[in-house]
Amino acid sequence: MSAIPVAAGLPLQVKDAREKLLAVLREVDPDGAQWVERIRARRPTTPSVVVVGETNRGKSSLVNALLAQPGLSPVDADVATATYLVFGHAEQWSAQACYPGQLAPVPIERPELVRWVSAGHELPEGQIPPRHVEVCGPVPLLERLNLVDTPGVGGLDSMHGELAMEAAASATALLFVVDASAPFTSSELDFLRRMGDRVETVVFALSKVDQFRGWREVLEADKQLLAEHAPRFADAELHPVSARMFEMAGTAPNEQAAGMLRERSGVIELQTAVQDLVVGRSAMLGEANTLRALSSALGVVHAKLQAERRALSTGEDEAESLRARRDALSTERRSSTRGWQLKLRGEINRTRVETTHEVGRQMRDAQAWARQEIDAADRDRLAGLPQQVDAALRTVSARISNGLAWRLHQVTETVLADLFSAEELDVIRGQFARTGGPPVSLRPPDRRPPTTEDKLLVFMGVSGGVGAGKLAAMPLAATMLSPFVLPATIVIGLGAGWWMARTRKHAANKQHMKQWLTDSIADARSTLDQLVAEQLIEAEQQLSLALDDALGKRITAIEEELRQVDNALKMGAQERSKQLGDVGKRIQDVAAARERAEKLLGKIRTLRDRG
């Protein structure tokens, strides 16, 4: 569904404002303007579309049709996709298994792809399951967007649904695939309800319309169900498609017949709709990043100009106030007790306790869910449970990662607010933004090859995104909503299910499976607790250094303001009055520019919320 028509003139407004605001910034802070332009140059140029749906809804077949590459994403009826497939553009075909953290990607030959991504196939000898597989090739659609085929193990009422939601929350758009055999299931509607507040843009595809004559009735029923149970998506367009018909066009007897089949398949129309919506939305979110950087840089300039005006207008009183503030911060920095360090340590400990409790709760929930699956499973479903446990642990690790990153952001904000005034925070945040923020660069674990004694495979890394590597870019909404965002997101990935299934012999009966599950969850929780503790220790050290540096910079800035006051005291009244007028005009211009940036950010947020 699209919100672009609601604000059709917004892209032009944003472009015009961006250029004018950059001109204002260049005049008052050329270095700041260069920083904003670097931010804009680095913005993601390729949006991502994540394809989700219940098992056997035809997701992979539709992905192949959209890419015009039959058989590229495995579609065996008896095999569910077990890992993400991320499709991107390149001049030559290539594929690689990707691991966040310390393991290098492993090249894959295209004929071997099914062995890496399907739960029903054995991995090549000596290899371990990847977090995702990246496939790149000369496909025109992929020049404009990345396409992600999500795991098909289980359904949207299982942990697959949670994994799909985590992936979709960071994507530019979601392509939700249902089929024409029957209207929405209760689990699909429940997924949409839960997803409503987390996913900005959704495109619906009604697949297999060539196989079911009553697909039009199903389409109307789907629309009614959306209006009743997921009203956020009530106005969304459902695109009827047939991947099989599109594939048949490749073997048609002549081009006329091929063209007719492609048109009737609905795939071309879906391609166009996805591109028009996603590329435009991605551009707007990229502009939001630039506007946020502009607002931050203008805030720094505004604070400095205010200090300059005080220096020109208040004289000796301002000098005394600045000296007192400089001495207070210098004492704070030199003090053996360092109240701000105690505050930081206390907030980190609070985060450690909260995260430990959250790990325990998430693991208990995963175990309870898995035990219910065991109780309800037949022999075939029981055999596939290790992959489901693996998906559950990946979901838990993503949640803990997100929560830990947010808590560290809150810790930083709390300590900064204790140290600095609101006006000083504008400057400090701007400094953090330009230098990459408090440099929380978390070290990976020691490198060692996996062995058969390893009961748990753990990947740990630092990423700007949620989940696996290049799966999706960091949500730009974060930069739109907060003036200061901790740049490092801690990513802790667990791949316990697969290793447990291989290294522990267990009979295919429910009692033995429950014991295996208990051992798996216990090992995973122990490892996750240890990783969280280690990374919090590292984060405390890095934040302590960053905040100490911020204190030093603020003291230096105050000393510069004192020099300005001394210079102002030596001026004549006429010269001082003239400079006051000049500074006042610059303050007005900068304040108006920043206000304009914030208003446009608000409009982009509205666009996003309606999407």
Q: Name the DSSP letter for residue 81.
A: B
Note the pLDDT of residue 167. Answer: 63
Strand partners, 50: 148, 174
C-alpha span between 468 and 535 (Å, rounded): 19
Sign (positive or negative) of CA dihedral 604, 5, 222, 155: negative
pLDDT in tens, 413-436: 788 777 777 777 777 766 666 655
C-alpha span between 92 and 197 (Å, rounded): 39
> What number of other Cβ atoms are within 10 A of residue 378's Cβ?
7
Note the pLDDT of residue 442. Answer: 35
Tell me: pLDDT of 525 over 90: no
Note the pLDDT of residue 467. Answer: 31
So what CATH class is 48-265? alpha beta
Tell me: pLDDT of 11 over 80: no
Instruction: State mean pLDDT over 381-391.
Output: 71
Share of the chain above pLDDT 90, in %: 18
Instruction: State mean pLDDT over 96-101.
Output: 77
The model's confidence at residue 4, banded by pLDDT at 50, 70 and 90, is very low
Q: What pTM, to 2 d.p., does this model score?
A: 0.66
Note the pLDDT of residue 446. Answer: 38
Note the pLDDT of residue 392. Answer: 73
Do residues 202 and 190 make contact, with C-beta atoms less than 8 angstroms apart? Answer: no
Break the chain down into helix, strand, coil percent, rounded to 5: 65, 10, 25
In terms of average pLDDT, the best of 28-42, 81-95, 146-160, 219-233 is: 219-233
Per-domain residue ranges of the chain: 48-265, 336-570
* Residue tagged 């977090």 (tokens): 131
Q: Name the DSSP letter for residue 210.
A: T
Of 28-42, 302-316, 460-474, which gets the smallest average pLDDT?
Answer: 460-474
pLDDT in tens, 43-87: 666 888 888 888 778 888 899 999 999 888 876 544 455 577 889
- Per-position b or e across 593-611, b if 16+ CB within 10 A of its CB: bbebbbebbebbeebbeeb
- Per-position b or e across 520-546, b if 16+ CB within 10 A of its CB: bbebbbebbbebbeebbeebbebbbeb
pLDDT in tens, 527-564: 788 878 877 887 787 778 777 877 887 888 888 878 87
13 or 389: which carries more pLDDT confidence?
A: 13
| Closest residue by Cα to residue 207 from 170, 244, 253 | 244
Q: Name the DSSP letter for residue 7.
A: G
C-alpha span between 117 and 562 (Å, rounded): 64
